[in-house]
C-alpha cells in the first residue's frame, strides 16, 4: 500500500491542496500587479504625448518635422513668431 495509514494520506492531500491554493493566490497577485503596470505605462505614454503636443503648440513648433502648424496670426496672438 502506498500510504501506511489514512492520516498520512490526509496530511499529504492537505499539503498539496494548500500548495495549489498558494500558487493560485500568487498567480492572481502577479496578474493584478502586471495589469496595474500596463495601466501605468499607458498613463505615462498619454501624459508624455499630451505634454509634447502642449509644448509644441505653445512654442509654435511641430513635434513632427514634416508637419507645419497652421496658425492664424496677426490677431494679437503672443505665441505667433512670424513678426506680424
Q: How many structural domains does the chain have?
A: 1
Give pTM, 2 decimals: 0.53
Average of per-residue pLDDT values in the chain: 80
Which cell goes with 25? 493566490
Q: If DSSP codes are grouped into helix, strand and coil, which group holds residue 16?
A: helix
Is there a domain that residue 67 lies in?
no
pLDDT at 29: 97
Is there a domain that residue 44 lies in?
yes
Which phi and psi angles does 22 have, rounded to 5°? -65, -40
Q: If DSSP codes are grouped into helix, strand and coil, which group holds residue 63?
A: coil
**Mean pLDDT score, 46-71:** 71
User: Which domain, by its residues, includes 17?
Assistant: 1-62
Question: C-alpha 44: how far from its chain's center?
Answer: 7
Amino acid at each position: 500500500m502506498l500510504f501506511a495509514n489514512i492520516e498520512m494520506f490526509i496530511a499529504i492531500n492537505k499539503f498539496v491542496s494548500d500548495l495549489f491554493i498558494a500558487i493560485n493566490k500568487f498567480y492572481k497577485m502577479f496578474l493584478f500587479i502586471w495589469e496595474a503596470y500596463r495601466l501605468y505605462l499607458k498613463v505615462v505614454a498619454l501624459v508624455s504625448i499630451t505634454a509634447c503636443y502642449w509644448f509644441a503648440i505653445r512654442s509654435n513648433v511641430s513635434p513632427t518635422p514634416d508637419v507645419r502648424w497652421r496658425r492664424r496670426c496677426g490677431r494679437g496672438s503672443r505665441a505667433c513668431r512670424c513678426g506680424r
